[in-house]
Structures are given as structure tokens and as C-alpha cells.
Amino acid sequence: MRGYRVLRANGSDTGLALTPHLDENNTPQDGWVVTHSQTGRMISGPFDTQNEAHNLTSQLATIMTWNQKRMPTNDLRQAATIVTQHRRKQAKSEAAV
């Protein structure tokens, strides 16, 4: 299972990647995470499926500064809001099942 960079519809790099979930010993676990490509830091996850993780990257890709190592504070706040809203929506849909 390998990760991959997420591209926009026009082919430009979003600065985000979907990667397999790894434990603290870098052992692959079930699930996928959204990762900041420049730093390798996990943004959110793990998600059960690639599709769930990709849905979040589609929303996060609207922030155009992911390709920078240090993002502006306002963009970080916007990203945190997007992740929180995504998690809430996901929890609601899981509760409805």
C-alpha cells in the first residue's frame, strides 16, 4: 500500500498527500491519513477508506498555500475549521447508519 500526492483538476499539486496510516514504529495499520507533503505531518486521519480521506483533501485543496513549509496563520485556522466540519459530518453520517 503506497501513498500518493493529490492533484487539482488542472494538474497542479495541492501540497497534500494520501498516505497509509502508520503506527509509532512506522508499521502499516488499517486506514489512510491526509498528510502535508512539505513536512510529512499528518493533517487528519486515520480514515477507513481512501475515498473518505480524499473527500477531505478535496475541501482542503481550496487553501492554496499547502505547498509552503510554513503556512499563514489564517490558512491554518481555515484548515482546522474544514477538518472539524468534515469530522462532524462524518460522525453524523456514521450515527445515521
pLDDT score, position 85: 92
Q: How many CB atoms lie within 10 A of CB 72?
A: 11
pLDDT score, position 8: 86
pLDDT score, position 75: 86
pLDDT score, position 69: 77
User: Which of the four pLDDT bands, split at 50, 70 and 90, describes residue 97?
Assistant: low
Strands of the sheet containing 42-47, edge to edge, are 4-7, 13-22, 28-36, 42-47
pLDDT in tens, 36-73: 888 888 899 899 989 999 999 989 988 877 777 777 88
Q: How far apart are alpha carbons 1 and 10 in whole angstroms?
A: 26
Q: How far is CA 11 from CA 6, 20, 25, 64, 83, in A?
A: 9, 23, 34, 14, 24
